Amino acid sequence: MANKSNPVVYFEIPVNDMDRAIKFYNAVFKFDFEKENIDNNEMALFPFADQKLGISGALAKGEIYKPTKDGVIIYFGTENIDEILKLATASGGQILYPKTDNGIGFVAEFEDSEGNRIALFQSKNV
């Protein structure tokens, strides 16, 4: 049976140092995290509200989680891509792909504190 909603419902971003990763994502996006231990893995859950559009996920630390720039790319929506890139680099991140107009909006990518490639999307309708 086909799924009648969008295909992605949850994500996990691998981390090596949970406290460092929480500090980075809080500094860049102002996210508050809820720490959990799930299946013997250390997790820090991103905010989630049922009444809002989109999905949520977690920072994840455990034997199976390996940060990389070569895997799946997660896009975080933002209303100010320039500000997020500035906060990411000020927090120790590195720009991997500069702000670029893709026709429907702006995209960019940066490396987080753990070595993951993280992407950004800003709509032109902001």
Reduce the DSSP state of residue 66 to 3 states and report it.
coil
Instruction: Map out the domains of the chain with their CATH numbers.
Output: 10-123 (3.10.180.10)
pTM: 0.91
Show the tokens assigned to 10.
């949850």
pLDDT band at 14 (very low <50, low <70, confident <90, very high): very high
- What does the pLDDT read at residue 57? 95
125 band by pLDDT with thresholds 50, 70 and 90 = confident
Q: In the predicted model, is pLDDT for residue 5 greater than 90?
A: no
Return the H-helix or E-strand segment holding 23. Answer: helix 18-29
Q: Note the pLDDT of residue 53.
A: 84
Closest-CA residue to 78 (of 38, 37, 106)? 106
The predicted-structure confidence for 50-101, as pLDDT tens digits, reads as follows 888 889 999 999 999 999 999 999 999 999 999 999 999 999 999 999 999 9
Cα gap 82→64, rounded to integer Å: 33
Q: Is 19 left (phi over 0), alpha (psi -120 to 50) or beta?
A: alpha
Which H or E run contains 64? none
